[in-house]
Amino acid sequence: MADIDSRVATELRGLLAGQRPLLRMALLAALAAAGLFILQSWWLAGLFSDALRAWQAGEPLQPRPIAGILLGLALCLLLRPLLQYLREICSDRASQRARAGLRGRVLDSLAQLGPSRRRLGADGQLASRALEQVDALDGYLARYQVQTRLVLMVPLMLLVATAWHSWLAAALLLLTAPLVPLFMVLLGRAAATASQRQLNTLGRMSGRFLDLLRGLPTLRHLQALELAEQAVDGAAEEYRQRTMQVLRMAFLSTAVLEFFAALAIALVAVYLGLGLLGLLPWARGEIPVPYQGALFILLLAPEFYAPLRQLGNDYHARAEAQGAMKELLPLLQCEVWHHTGSRPLLLEGAPALELQQVSAAGGQGRLRLAPLDLNLAPGQRVLIQGPSGSGKSTLLELLLGFVPYQGSLKVNGRELAELERSAWQARVGYLAQQPQLLAASVADNLRLAVPGATDRQLWGVLGEVGLAPLLRRLPLGLETPLGERGLGLSGGQQSRLALARLLLRDTPLWLLDEPLAHLDPDTAEQIGVLIDRLSQGRTLLLVSHERTGLDWLTQVLEVARPVEAAA
């Protein structure tokens, strides 16, 4: 736990360190504004002191000095808001840059994880981490750090100005000041946990909503809408309660701070007031602080606590940031396996694969893939069969470099784990079980894989998978839009489109996961023949339950279901 906290703190410090110049500028602007405030208060006190004296003496006020003071005041009142404006600009910019950088890192991590990201959460949750939780750092980045400096410097400036006129008033302020951070720390601790829980709840609520919305047709058909509505109500209510918990904590800490500030100011005011009346028990008949100084101190006193109060609010931003960072940590410091190989790979033609006792571990001592031997000469093609859950898909993900493995897996005699992953993947063609299509046009979906492909090339591959005649009949042709999850195409057509995309990339190794599962026997036969023709000269691993259309695959590898590892 302490370890996590320190890692969170390190990450947050790192973010701030990158934006030092802007934050320093913001600090300077705020300090200058505080200086102007002291000047403004002094002049205001002077003005009223003059007025009081003149009124007391029954003389008219001298317009010249008054005009001078008013001019000074005007200058202060003009410049102070301007400096605050400057501070905001600097802080916001710093926060934006830091957040953009962090989001970039989150995306990089996701790219490292590949299919293994599932272990860190559903896509909806991961997206909300990359978006909302990174943005949740805004308050901390933009305000907190500068405020932690101000909270020391500004009260110090005010304290010096106060002590100039009254040691006792300064001492009173000084005595109450430490109470404020004390309470803040106490409440802040609780707030950090609460706000992390709230963020978790938000992620869960989003995930639950997305899940139910996607499945609405099914829910409706099963007449299970009421259950879904209850689930929504439950998630919304949980989120409400968690949010209220966090807010209650925040409001309470602010209220406590304000209470202390009010108490201290009241004490100072009573001391000054009684002093002016000459009623102080230890100094009867004396006036320890004359009017101008007394009014000056009274004007300064609220501002003495203002930075602390602001920090109280921003402390909350810190708690929020810590909560968010805790969520981001697993993504930033990928504790999961990560492919470290760096040797470049030169693949001229189809590679040879040599697997010896290759296995993959799942969670909790389970095996996702039982130890397996396989030797493939360049251009050799193999059908992989086995019961559901035997790890056939895992084998393909493993070959892609996304899954850690035990045993030895050599590509042209080189260990896969030592190869540079992106160079390796550039030479691999992969087809997942679910056709992975975007809600975009057919052409866009194809060009996703090969951005520079010409229309001619697209028509070429579409022709080879048997989609060209259909698309030529459609008014929009290549620009025909697909819906979410390939809506508008039948299952078979989706598979063909995915196959077309594979052909477009033209790689020497193909890993195909159930490419024919959705096709009818006739078409499966045709596509099978097509795969046969197109995969000539490539090394091919093809996972399939059926042999239909795949008679040409002479080598068959049976993958057994992994036996439970002994506890």
Partner 1 sequence: MTEGQLRLRLSRLLHSRAAGWLLALLLGALALFSAIALLALSGWFITAAALAGMATGYMLDVFRPAAIIRLLALTRTLGRYGERLASHQAALGLLRDLRSAVFRRISHARQLPRRSNEAMHRLVADIDLLDQFPLRVLLPWIWASLMALLLLGFLALLDSRLLLAAAPGVCLAWVLPWLGYWRGGRLARADVEWAEARRSFLLDSLRLLTPLLIWQRWPGRAAAFTAQDQQYLAQQDRQQRLISRLTLLQQWALAASLLMVLWQGSLLIEDGLTVPLLLAAALALLGLNEALLPVAGSFVALGLSQAARDRLQALGRADQPTPEHDRPVPQAPFTLHLQQLSLRWPGALSGPSDLDLQLYSGQTLLVIGPSGGGKSTLLHWLAGEPIQRQGRALLNGHPPDHWDLAGVIGWLPQDVDIFDMPLADNLRLGNPAASDAQLWRVLEDVALADWARERGLDTPLGEQGSAVSGGQARRIALARLLLAERPILLLDEPFAGLDAATREQVMQALLRRQRDGLLIIASHQPVSAPDLQVVRVGG
Q: Which is nearer to partner 1, 39 or 276 (CB)?
A: 276
**Smallest distance, partner 1 to C-beta of residue 254, A:** 8
Q: Which is nearer to partner 1, 8 or 42 (CB)?
A: 42
Q: Which is nearer to partner 1, 8 or 519 (CB)?
A: 519
Rounded to an integer, what distance in angstroms lies between the CA atom of residue 481 and that of residue 478?
Answer: 8
∠ CA 46-170-26, rounded to 5°: 80
* CB neighbourhood size of 399 (10 A): 22
Q: Which amino acid is at 332?
A: L
Distances from the Cα of 392 to the Cα of 368, 451, 527, angstroms: 9, 31, 21
Q: Which is nearer to partner 1, 8 or 497 (CB)?
A: 497
**Smallest distance, partner 1 to C-beta of residue 374, A:** 21
| DSSP single-letter state for residue 419 | B
Reported residue count of the chain is 567
**Smallest distance, partner 1 to C-beta of residue 225, A:** 5
**Smallest distance, partner 1 to C-beta of residue 278, A:** 5
Three-state SS letters, 482-516: CCHHHCCCCHHHHHHHHHHHHHHHCCCEEEEECCC
**Smallest distance, partner 1 to C-beta of residue 439, A:** 7
**Smallest distance, partner 1 to C-beta of residue 79, A:** 10
**Smallest distance, partner 1 to C-beta of residue 273, A:** 4
Q: Which is nearer to partner 1, 380 or 433 (CB)?
A: 433
Q: Which is nearer to partner 1, 258 or 415 (CB)?
A: 258
**Smallest distance, partner 1 to C-beta of residue 2, A:** 30
Q: Which is nearer to partner 1, 8 or 166 (CB)?
A: 166
Distances from the Cα of 79 to the Cα of 83, 97, 155, angstroms: 6, 27, 20
The first and second tokens of residue 182, run together, are 């004390």
| DSSP single-letter state for residue 343 | B
**Smallest distance, partner 1 to C-beta of residue 277, A:** 5
DSSP letters, 73-139, are HHHHHHHHHHHHHHHHHHHHHHHHHHHHHHHHHHHHHHHHHGGGGGGG--HHHHHHIIIIIHHTTHH
**Smallest distance, partner 1 to C-beta of residue 517, A:** 5
Helices and strands: H and E segment counts in the chain: 19, 9
- Backbone dihedral region of 542: left (phi > 0), alpha (psi from -120 to 50 degrees) or beta? beta
3-state secondary structure of 183: helix
**Smallest distance, partner 1 to C-beta of residue 255, A:** 4
Please enumerate in sequence order all residues whose Cβ is within 8 A of that of 109, keeping only pairs 6 or more positions apart, or say none. 331, 332, 334
Orientation angle between helical segments 179-214 and 291-332, nearest 10 degrees: 40
Q: Which is nearer to partner 1, 13 or 214 (CB)?
A: 214
Q: Which is nearer to partner 1, 21 or 483 (CB)?
A: 483
**Smallest distance, partner 1 to C-beta of residue 555, A:** 19
Backbone angles phi, psi at 187, to 5 degrees: -75, -35
Three-state SS letters, 421-480: HHHHHCCEEEECCCCCCCCCEHHHHHHCCCCCCCHHHHHHHHHHCCCHHHHHHCCCHHHC
For residue 182, give the H/E element and its range: helix 179-214
Rounded to an integer, what distance in angstroms lies between the CA atom of residue 143 and that of residue 135?
Answer: 14
Q: Which is nearer to partner 1, 8 or 201 (CB)?
A: 201
Which residues lie across from 369 on neighbouring strands? 360
3-state secondary structure of 271: helix
Three-state SS letters, 345-408: CCCCCCCCEEEEEEEEECCCCCEEEEEEEEEECCCCEEEEECCCCCCHHHHHHHHHCCCCCEEE
**Smallest distance, partner 1 to C-beta of residue 6, A:** 29
Q: Which is nearer to partner 1, 91 or 147 (CB)?
A: 91
Q: Which is nearer to partner 1, 178 or 285 (CB)?
A: 285
Q: Which is nearer to partner 1, 418 or 444 (CB)?
A: 444
Q: Which is nearer to partner 1, 4 or 565 (CB)?
A: 565
Backbone angles phi, psi at 545, to 5 degrees: -80, -40
**Smallest distance, partner 1 to C-beta of residue 5, A:** 28
Place of tokens 């139910």: 212
